[in-house]
Amino acid sequence: MIDKKEISSLIYLLDDSDEEVIEQIESKILSFGYEAIPFLEEASLNEEEVLRLKRMQRIIRELRKTEILRDLTFWKQHDSADLLKGLLILERVEYPHTDHQEVNKQLEKIRLDAWLEFNYDLTSFEQVKVLNYIFFKVHRFKGNAEEYHDIQNSCISKVLENRSGNPVSLGIIYSLIAQRLNIPVYGVNLPQHFVLGYKNIEGLEILKSFNDESSLTHGETNEVMFYINPFTEGLILNADSIKSFLKQLEVEPRPEYFNVCSNVEILKRVLRNMLFSYEKVKQHDKSEIIQKLLGSL
**147 and 40 both lie in a single domain:** no
pLDDT of residue 100: 95
- Within its chain, how far is the Cα of 293 from the centroid? 12
Distance CA 59, CA 65 (A): 10
pLDDT of residue 236: 92
**218 and 257 both lie in a single domain:** yes
pLDDT of residue 202: 58
Which residue, 231, 296, 229, 232, is CA-closest to 264?
296
Which residue, 37, 1, 34, is CA-closest to 11?
37
Distance CA 255, CA 60 (A): 44
Q: Which of 32, 62, 79 is the last residue of a domain?
A: 79
Sequence-distant (6+) residues with CB within 8 A of 276 are 149
Q: Which of 42, 62, 79 is the last residue of a domain?
A: 79
Distance CA 264, CA 243 (A): 24
Sequence-distant (6+) residues with CB within 8 A of 284 are 278
Q: Residue 292 in contact with residue 69, Cβ under 8 Å?
A: yes
**148 and 285 both lie in a single domain:** yes
Percent of the chain with pLDDT over 90: 59
What are residue 185's phi and psi, to 5 degrees? Answer: -110, 125
Q: Which of 79, 95, 114 is the last residue of a domain?
A: 79
Label residue 12 by pLDDT band (50, 70, 90).
Answer: confident
**101 and 240 both lie in a single domain:** yes
Distance CA 39, CA 264 (A): 34
Cα angle, residue 129 at apex, residues 174 and 269 outer, rounded to 5°: 25
Lowest mean pLDDT among 137-141, 243-247, 268-272: 243-247
Which own/partner pairs from 271-280 qualify as long-range (CB within 8 Å, at least 24 positions apart)?
Answer: 271/90, 271/297, 273/149, 273/153, 273/154, 273/166, 273/168, 274/90, 274/93, 274/94, 274/151, 274/154, 276/149, 277/149, 277/150, 277/151, 277/153, 277/154, 278/151, 280/149
**159 and 75 both lie in a single domain:** no
**61 and 93 both lie in a single domain:** no
Q: How is 131-190 classified by DSSP, letter by letter?
A: HHIIIIIIS--EE--TTTT-GGGG-HHHHHHHTEE-HHHHHHHHHHHHHHTT--EEEEEE
**9 and 146 both lie in a single domain:** no
**132 and 75 both lie in a single domain:** no
pLDDT, tens digit, 9 for 90 and up, residues 45-104: 887 788 888 888 888 888 888 999 999 999 999 999 999 999 999 999 999 889 999 999
Q: Can you give the pTM of this predicted structure?
A: 0.84
pLDDT of residue 2: 78
Sequence-distant (6+) residues with CB within 8 A of 97 are none
Domain with 106, as residue range(s), is: 86-296
pLDDT at residue 216 tops 50: no
pLDDT of residue 222: 54
pLDDT, tens digit, 9 for 90 and up, residues 109-150: 999 999 999 877 888 899 999 999 999 999 999 999 889 899
pLDDT at residue 107 tops 60: yes
pLDDT, tens digit, 9 for 90 and up, residues 149-188: 999 999 999 999 999 999 999 999 999 999 999 999 999 9
**43 and 107 both lie in a single domain:** no
Indicate the number of domains in the chain: 2
Lowest mean pLDDT among 104-113, 216-225, 277-286, 287-296: 216-225
pLDDT at residue 220 tops 60: no
**44 and 97 both lie in a single domain:** no
**29 and 61 both lie in a single domain:** yes
